[in-house]
Amino acid sequence: FRFDGSVPLSAIFELLVTKLMSLLRGFKVSFFIGSFSKIYMGKSVKIQHTKNIVFGDNVIIGDYAMLSALGKGPLSIGNNVSAGAFSRVIISTSYNNIGEFITIGDNVGFGEFAYLGGAGGLSIGKNTIIGQYFSAHPENHIFTNSKSLIRQQGVTRTGIMIGENCWIGSKVTILDGVTIGDNCVIAAGAVVNSSFPDNVVIGGVPAVTLKSI
């Protein structure tokens, strides 16, 4: 890309220094896992179960983000992926019933404070862009027995699949069992609890089809 003509040289220099420091931090991770991937690692990033992470090339992990790859399958991050600051990408939150996998395709970017869970499996297709405060939860608690504590009734897991070339606005929540087709747009603040085909605009609580593209 080309820098905007209004960007001062001081800002460009600051960006280059920041990128160099991020690349040096990422080099430590690449060396540890025996990868030649170029990783730009922000400040105070936390990574758990590194051996179960597959990094593509030119991956950017924002400041204070966390990656945790305890799962039956890997946490797979494609080429040119950008994860926003303070984001959480976590396959499992418990050790007694570990999750499935998370797959993030090439050229995917998601904003700050996103939460990507992988309990039932999460797949995000390539070239999908996602706003801040996004959350994906491929797991549901069972609550049908009123005489038992909800936390003791177990969970169900189906998985979430998000297609390619989607635009997902900020503060969108996608729940377990949902499949989103290719080339979809999801309006900011939507709660998606059902599946949608290709080429539609989705919005609302709960989300519905607003129009076709």
Alpha helices in the chain (DSSP H): 9-33
Minimal CA–CA distance to 122: which of 165, 90, 96, 83? Answer: 90
Distance CA 143, CA 130 (A): 31
User: Does 137 qualify as catalytic in the annotation?
Assistant: yes
Q: By three-state DSSP, how is residue 177 classified?
A: coil
Residue tagged active-site, from 38, 88, 126, 137: 137
Tokens matching residue 75: 């946490």
- Our CA angle for 94, 150, 91, nearest 5°, is 25
DSSP secondary structure string for all residues of 2-61? ---TTS-HHHHHHHHHHHHHHHHHHHHHHHHHT----EEE-TT-EEESGGGEEE-SSEEE
Minimal CA–CA distance to 71: which of 88, 45, 51, 43? Answer: 51
Catalytic residues: 137
